[in-house]
Amino acid sequence: MTRFLLPLLLLATPAAAEPLIVDHGRLFVTAKVNGVETEALLDSGAEATLLDPSLARQANLAAGEKVEIKGSGGSQPAEVVSGVSVEALGQKLEKLDAVVLDLTDLSQRLLKRPTRAILGRELFDAARLEIDVEGRTVRALAPTEAPRGTRLPLTTVHGIEALPVTVNGVSAKAELDFGNGSAVMVSRALADRLKLKVTGTREGGGIGGAVTRKTVLLRTLKVGSLTLRNVTAAIDELPNAGEVNIGTEVLRHFVVTTDFRNHQVWLAPAGKGAR
């Protein structure tokens, strides 16, 4: 949901499966920030850990460097704080740089759930994560454990990992965005290339505020072995938008195992046939 990349130090260990809270298409897990327990949004589309000021105060974080964070809805003032410890899914991220910004609007308008922390790319870089949206479980795999399903390569696009997909028979790269709990999105460039006709509008946006996006209809969207038909997608007008962005509405059809460090992902059918 945001594009902001910072250096970090990771200590990765395997973890048992944990409950995954699914609320309005968003995924939440239990985490600790400097030892303070909190619920956190799991967001593979965020390039940094984001903390609300109320949590930063409770965790006794020092004041940081003032910056402006640009999100899909505009810019928002924030601070970059160093030396943060984050624990989640059996992983401990030490000496982390985190972004402290007011998450009130995002929580109320988009997430529909009080949220004081967003765990982004750093956690996905720490270990292979197996995410089962339909089964509502998440876990870090042991280094020796083979992921289930079909392996696909990932490509880093503007700091977000993207997998190969096919839209209306045309090859494209789709950002793997577990923080997207609503519509598939396509870039303006891809919409024009495919000559997609506008079918309506949809409210969206993220950090920085709300935006109204035009919608189009994708005749087919092929992800791995799954072909979805007549998919409504919103057009992302930002100049750095990925060709396609897929969130939990698509990813819930799979048990997804991510390996961002080695730029690969495995997709296994969700449900009884997944194991």
Q: For the segment 184-211, what is each residue's pLDDT rounded down to a tens digit?
A: 999 999 999 999 999 999 988 777 778 8
Name the β-bridge partners of 28: 21, 41
In angstroms, the Cα distances linking 61 to 40, 57, 85, 164, 230 are 17, 6, 10, 40, 47
- Give, in degrees to the nearest 5, the angle at Cα 63 between 59 and 66: 130
pLDDT tens for residues 135-178?
Answer: 999 999 998 999 999 999 999 998 999 999 999 999 999 999 99
Question: What band does 15 get if pLDDT is binned at 50, 70 and 90?
Answer: low
Higher pLDDT, 205 or 180: 180
Structure tokens belonging to residue 157: 């696009």
Predicted model pTM: 0.90
Separation between Cα atoms, residue 114 and residue 141, nearest integer Å: 29
Residue with tokens 């005749």: 219
Mean of the per-residue pLDDT values for the chain? Answer: 91
- The answer on pLDDT for 275 being more than 50 is no
- The answer on pLDDT for 6 being more than 50 is no
Separation between Cα atoms, residue 220 and residue 189, nearest integer Å: 18
For residue 108, the SS3 value is helix
Separation between Cα atoms, residue 119 and residue 125, nearest integer Å: 11
